[in-house]
A and B are shown apart, each in its own frame.
Chain A
Amino acid sequence: MVTVKSLDELKPKQKGIIVKIKGSGATHRRLLDMGLVKGSSIDVERVAPLGDPIDVRIKGYHLSLRKEEASNILVEV
């Protein structure tokens, strides 16, 4: 079954397909530029020892972002 969640709700080792990046402005654009576009698959690799940020794999590389930013990323699980 397909459900839409925000990226910060995913647990390590879960993966999803990006459906939308919410928001606007510089950070929004940065996420797009880094390859977080609709249809890309994204894996949550791990959470930092202190619980934030998270390390995700997108387009074959590792990207780290805070849960706050991740909450703007909607994925299909």
Chain B
Amino acid sequence: MAEKTTIALIGNPNSGKTTIFNALTGSRQHVGNWPGKTVEKKEGKSTHKGYELEVVDLPGTYSLTAYSIEELISRNYVVNEKPDVVVDILDSTNLERNLYLAIQLIEMGANMVLAFNMSDLADSEGLEINTDLISRYLNVPIIKTSARDGSGLDELKDAVIDVLESGNGYERDEGRSGRPTINYGKEVEEHLEEFTEYITGNIEIPEKYNPRWVAIKLLEGDEEIIKLVKELDNSRIVLKESRRLQNHLKAIFGEDVETIVADARYGFIHGIVMESVERKRREKSFSDHVRKAVSKPFWGISLAVGSILGLAFLFAGGLIMESAYGFLESVNSPEWLTLILADTILAGLGAITVYLPFMVLFFIIYAALEGGGVIGGADSLSDHIDRVAMNRVIGIPLFLLLMLIAFNLTFEVAAPLSDVVDWFISDVVGGFVEGLLFSVNAPGWLLSLALDGAVAGVGSVLVFVPFIFMMFLVIAILEDSGYMARAAFVMDRFMHKIGLHGKSFIPLILGFGCNVPAIMATRVLESRKDRILTILINPFMSCGARLPVYLLFAAAFFTGSISVFGFTVSTETAVIYSLYLLGMGVAIVIGFIFKNTLFKGLSSPFVMELPPYRMPTLRGVLTHTWERGWLFIRKAGTLIFAVVIFIWFLAALPPGVEYGSEGSYIGDVGKFISPVFAPLGFGDWRSSVSLFFGFVAKEVVVGSMGVLYGSGDVETPSGEATLVGALQGTFTPLSAYAFLVFVLLYVPCMVVVATIKREIGWRWALFTVVYTTVVAWVAAFIVYQGGLLLGFS
């Protein structure tokens, strides 16, 4: 018979809970190499030996006394919901700190299993962990796992079932389980025992709580337990007794109870670890690490081939491309094939591999410096990397350079892919639909609905999907490598100066992908003020959905190249960068203003773990990218499709009106709002309409322009070129730039607004809608009118 049981996965942040959860349940929750990736409780199902297991993945937490809201979720779940079995997942390379939570769970009396995860890393670091010994000390089953390759998971499930069947936690009617209790020393123990009796004698604590644990927690001053006790009859005298004892112990030890308790727990753990973990210390030089890495055939060969390709592209990139084009022409390859083979694959490979020779050069210099004794050895590869990545002198320039390279790659690789998609949609799909409709003698309006509406509207959005994918890919790699936490570390001082927090930096970067997960990620911030502030400025981080608008306008108005600090860059790229930078600049200024008006007061402390760097897994990065990217495609096929069709109808009605003319309904709407935008340089009614519907999703700005500007000429395929031509007739470069500034800053899409409401309430959501729009209007006004004054047009 299948029984339904809940299994909770808890553990320190970044110990691999979500990875194990995914392996157990077949889910695809996102993992990332920084503490605080999971911020919500997630559920999934797994079956083992006839049991149906309801597995719950929890946010990471260092202790059962929570510090931030995502930790509180975990704490409340294991304490109050009492899952049938608690699986505590530990990072074996960091046992001492990870056991601290385990000890607390043991004290609480949970039915539990310990998973010593990341055992692959522990092995390679030369750690020898005697799990049998630890298991005997703690009287809890311990299973070694390595979630990445799935080893140990079956044993883990077996152990869970064992515990499920026999139970190993605290049950009131059976008295103490065979678990060790941490001895807090004679003096404390005596008081603890008395106090426990005092509690059971005076208040009715619910069955599920272990009285000794409640006593400890009260003495520790745990707010959640105090809250719980407060609701019971007679609580006042118990709380009073607790305060008396706290003062008494403080007077004796000269230290508050939380310190005494933490000292004792860590002391206990230290004892265990000293006896059961042996570290074969192996300091490794950087060249050793590299040698080991490249001795794996895959990495070795990739690096060698990549570097050679990179060198070739560095010195003869033009030549390679020309000969490729020449060859393809000579074999009469059709345009689309050239687009895919030469522009996408070959040029893309080139764009990526040119960085490899520099990397190798850098490795060689570093290894040489190390060999020459200029820099000493370090324990792990992470330490080597951090020496460079967090170096006082090159840390920040390197960070900026990495960002620049990441963005550059995004554009370079995605641009040709986008051409492929454009070709596919306008020539293949558009041509097919047109041909089909002509062949059945479809009426003109249907033709217009299909081509002007569906194909032009949805197509103009889909064209930019490759950019969005690349953006997510870059972010996934950043997240998975462990660099995010470093960025927070490096930027904390700066963020602190402008009134934010180093940890705010991670959500801000995630915002470049999509503001929705970015806003969720602010849960790692402990202080509510920091959190609200970070959420409020997050929409200024230009998300992937805004990119299509920039790309479209850049292609229409900002071709050519300009010179920046002696480098020649394409105007298109420069304009797009400038928008991203503007968004960040506005976020900083607004953050600063809010900090000094709405959120006066001290900012909260910065205490954050820096996880070791890890090689991102191909699978992790790809699922991450695919899922987020797929959302965009799906959105284009559903929401955006619907809006675009809606707009087409408004543009075609009332009956008899010329499609997309001012006399249509949509014309009325447009003319009604356009005066607001006139001072900003884009008073055209069609762009006003597109901004209005852009609230649904920012890609709609492009989609609805596709519908409205492409009007009239059904005969020509509705590719990007038509739209570009139409825009050139309506905007000037200056008004186009003002328009982009407005799109960057104005009200975030409705999903973001809904997320803000869910996270911090509808007042703040409403506030965001209003203030961002005001900021956008003012900024676009300054750009346009200022530009006019300066003589631009």
Contact = CB atoms under 8 A, between A and B. Distances in A.
B96 interface: yes
A33 B493 contact: no
Contacts of A51: 493
Interface string B251-277: 000001011001100110000000000
A3 interface: no
Interface string B600-615: 0000111111111000
B94 A50 contact: no
Interface string A52-64: 1101000111111
B502 interface: yes
Given A30-B67, A31-B607, A53-B493, A60 B94 contact: yes
B221 to A, nearest CB: 8
A26 B97 contact: no
A10 B128 CA distance: 32
A8 B608 CA distance: 16
A34 interface: yes
Given A48-B489, A49-B392, A51-B493, A27 B62 contact: no
B393 interface: yes
A49 B493 CA distance: 9
Contact of B259 (A21, A62, A65): A21
Most chain A Cβ neighbours within 10 Å, of B390, B391, B607: B607
Nearest to A46: B390
A4 interface: no
A53 B492 contact: yes
A37 B269 CA distance: 12
B696 interface: no
A77 B126 CA distance: 29
A51 B390 CA distance: 11
A51 B94 CA distance: 27
B489 A35 contact: no
A68 B493 CA distance: 12
B258 A29 contact: yes
B100 interface: yes
Interface string B225-269: 000000000000000000000000000000010110011001100
B273 to A, nearest CB: 9
Nearest to B396: A49
B610 A38 contact: no
B94 A49 contact: no
A76 interface: no
A30 B96 CA distance: 16
Interface string B467-506: 0000000000000000000000110111010000010000
Contacts of A26: 67, 526
A66 B96 contact: no
Contacts of B526: 26
B490 A50 contact: yes
Nearest to B602: A68
A61 B489 CA distance: 15
B96 A59 contact: yes
Contacts of B258: 28-29, 32
Contacts of A33: 62-63, 65, 67, 100, 262
Contact of B256 (A24, A49, A63): A24
A62 B392 CA distance: 17
B300 interface: no
A3 to B, nearest CB: 21
B386 interface: yes
B616 interface: no
A47 B393 CA distance: 11
Contacts of B97: 34-35, 59-61
B395 A60 contact: no
A50 B609 contact: no
B687 interface: no
Contacts of B259: 21, 32, 37-38
Contacts of A29: 63, 65, 67, 258, 262
B766 to A, nearest CB: 31
Most chain B Cβ neighbours within 10 Å, of A45, A60, A63: A60
Given A29-B258, A46-B386, A60-B96, A52 B493 contact: yes
A50 B62 contact: no
Nearest to A47: B392
Given A48-B492, A53-B493, A53-B502, A38 B607 contact: no
Given A26-B67, A65-B605, A66-B605, A48 B96 contact: no
A53 B67 CA distance: 20
Contacts of B266: 35, 37, 40
A59 B94 contact: yes
Contact of A30 (B94, B383, B607, B612): B607
B630 to A, nearest CB: 35
Given A35-B97, A40-B266, A60-B94, A49 B490 contact: yes
Contact of B609 (A49, A62, A66, A69): A62
A49 B67 contact: no
A35 B609 CA distance: 11
A17 B100 CA distance: 20
Contact of A61 (B94, B267, B395, B492): B94
A61 B496 CA distance: 24
B492 A69 contact: no
B607 A34 contact: yes
Given A26-B67, A64-B610, A69 B94 contact: no
A49 B526 CA distance: 24
Contact of A69 (B263, B386, B607): B607
B210 interface: no
Most chain A Cβ neighbours within 10 Å, of B62, B97, B263: B97
Contact of B605 (A24, A50, A69): A69
A50 B397 CA distance: 12
Contacts of B494: 50
A74 to B, nearest CB: 13
A46 B610 CA distance: 12
Given A27-B607, A34-B607, A64 B489 contact: yes
A52 B605 contact: no
A49 B395 contact: yes
Contact of A66 (B67, B392, B395, B492): B492
Contacts of B256: 24
B60 to A, nearest CB: 12
Contacts of A62: 609-612
Nearest to A68: B605
B690 interface: no
B344 interface: no
A60 B93 contact: yes
B222 to A, nearest CB: 9
Interface of A: 21, 24, 26-35, 37-40, 45-53, 55, 59-66, 68-69
29 contacts: A29-B67, A30-B605, A32-B259, A33-B65, A33-B262, A34-B62, A34-B97, A35-B96, A35-B100, A37-B259, A37-B262, A37-B263, A38-B259, A39-B263, A46-B392, A48-B390, A48-B392, A48-B489, A48-B490, A49-B395, A50-B493, A51-B493, A55-B489, A60-B97, A61-B610, A64-B489, A64-B606, A65-B607, A66-B606
Q: Closest 4 CB pairs between A and B?
A: A50-B493, A32-B262, A49-B395, A33-B63
